[in-house]
Structure 1
Amino acid sequence: MKVVNLDRPWTDVPVLFQGFVLTDPGQAQVLRQYCEWVVVEDEERRLAPIISKVARLRKRTTEPMEETRSLLEEIPRAKATWNKTRIFVERVIRDIEQGNNNLHLQHARPIIRNCVDSIKANASAMFWMTRIKSRDAYTAEHCLRVAIFTVAFARFLGMPDEDLEIAGLCGLLHDIGKLKVPPSILNKPGALSPDEFSVMQKHTTLGYKLLKQDPDVDSIISDVTVHHHERIDGFGYPHQLEEAQISRFARLVSIVDAFDALTSDRCYRDGVPTSDAMRILYRNRGQQFDTGMVEAFIRMIGVYPPGSLVELSSGEVALIVATHPGKKLKPKVEVLLDANKHPVTPRVLDLSKQPDETQHGILRPLPDGAFGISLQGRIQQLVAGDRP
Structure 2
Amino acid sequence: MKKRVHLSNICVGMYIEELEDSSRNGFDKRRLLITSQAELRAILASNAMSAIIDTAKGKDVCEAADPSWELIRARFEAELESSFHAGEIRQARECIESTRPMIRQMLSSAHRDGSFDFDGAHGIVEAVMSDALESAGALIAMTKLKDRDEGTFLHCLAVSALMIAFGRSLGLGEEAIRDLGLGGLVHDIGKATVPHTILNKSGKLSPAEFALVRQHPARGAALLRGACDLPQTVLDVCLYHHEKLDGTGYPFGLREDAIPLAARIAAICDVYDAMVTIRPYKRGWSQAQTVEMMLTSRGHFDRDLLKRFVSQLVVKGSLQ
- Same fold judged by TM-score > 0.5? yes
Match of 2:317 among 317, 320, 323: 323
Match of 1:253 among 266, 272, 278: 266
Counterpart amino acid of residue 79 in structure 1: R
Aligned partner of residue 284 in structure 1, secondary structure? coil
Matched, 1:288 2:282: no
Instruction: Compute the displacement of 1:270 (Å).
Output: 4.2
Label 1:273 to 1:74 Cα distance change in 2 as closer, same or farther (>3 A): closer
Instruction: Compute the displacement of 1:260 (Å).
Output: 1.3
Match of 1:226 among 239, 246, 249: 239
CA distance in 1, matches of 2:194, 2:282: 19
Matches within 5 A, 1:177-188: 177-188=190-201
Counterpart amino acid of residue 279 in structure 1: E
Percent sequence identity over aligned pairs: 33
Aligned partner of residue 246 in structure 2, secondary structure? coil
- Partner of 2:113 in structure 1? 100
- Contact kept, 8 Å, 1:232 with 1:242, in 2: the verdict is yes
Matched, 1:82 2:76: no
CA distance in 2, matches of 1:112, 1:282: 29
Over the residues paired in the alignment, what is the CA RMSD in angstroms? 2.3
Residue-by-residue CA offset, 1:204-227 (whole Å, 9 max, x unaligned): 111011100123321221111110
- Contact kept, 8 Å, 1:115 with 1:148, in 2: the verdict is yes
Instruction: Compute the displacement of 1:265 (Å).
Output: 4.4
Matches within 5 A, 1:1-388: 71-97=85-111, 99-265=112-278, 269-285=282-298, 287-302=299-314, 323=317
CA distance in 1, matches of 2:253, 2:279: 27
CA distance in 2, matches of 1:271, 1:117: 28
Instruction: Compute the displacement of 1:195 (Å).
Output: 2.3
Aligned partner of residue 293 in structure 2, secondary structure? helix
Aligned partner of residue 95 in structure 1, secondary structure? helix
Residue-by-residue CA offset, 1:177-216 (whole Å, 9 max, x unaligned): 0111122221122332332211110001110111001233
Residue-by-residue CA offset, 1:332-370 (whole Å, 9 max, x unaligned): xxxxxxxxxxxxxxxxxxxxxxxxxxxxxxxxxxxxxxx
Counterpart amino acid of residue 92 in structure 1: M
**Larger proportion of helix:** 2
Instruction: Compute the displacement of 1:107 (Å).
Output: 1.7
Instruction: Compute the displacement of 1:252 (Å).
Output: 0.4
Counterpart amino acid of residue 211 in structure 1: L
CA distance in 1, matches of 2:267, 2:278: 19
- Contact kept, 8 Å, 2:118 with 2:228, in 1: the verdict is no
Label 1:268 to 1:186 Cα distance change in 2 as closer, same or farther (>3 A): farther
Counterpart amino acid of residue 275 in structure 1: A
Label 1:275 to 1:101 Cα distance change in 2 as closer, same or farther (>3 A): same
- Partner of 2:3 in structure 1? none
CA distance in 2, matches of 1:130, 1:256: 13
Counterpart amino acid of residue 107 in structure 2: I
Residue-by-residue CA offset, 1:83-123 (whole Å, 9 max, x unaligned): 122221111222233x2223222221122112112111232
- Contact kept, 8 Å, 1:155 with 1:164, in 2: the verdict is yes
Counterpart amino acid of residue 78 in structure 1: A
- Contact kept, 8 Å, 2:146 with 2:279, in 1: the verdict is no
Label 1:128 to 1:236 Cα distance change in 2 as closer, same or farther (>3 A): closer
- Partner of 1:62 in structure 2? none
CA distance in 2, matches of 1:101, 1:301: 35
For structure 1, which runs of at least 5 residues remain unmatched after alignment?
1-69, 304-321, 326-330, 332-388
Residue-by-residue CA offset, 1:251-273 (whole Å, 9 max, x unaligned): 00111111111222468754322
Instruction: Compute the displacement of 1:142 (Å).
Output: 0.8
- Partner of 1:22 in structure 2? none
Label 1:296 to 1:80 Cα distance change in 2 as closer, same or farther (>3 A): same
CA distance in 2, matches of 1:100, 1:73: 39
- Contact kept, 8 Å, 2:160 with 2:185, in 1: the verdict is yes
Instruction: Compute the displacement of 1:136 (Å).
Output: 2.9
Counterpart amino acid of residue 167 in structure 2: A
Q: How many residues align?
A: 237
Residue-by-residue CA offset, 1:150-190 (whole Å, 9 max, x unaligned): 11111112212222211110100000001111222211223
CA distance in 1, matches of 2:139, 2:91: 9
- Contact kept, 8 Å, 1:264 with 1:271, in 2: the verdict is yes
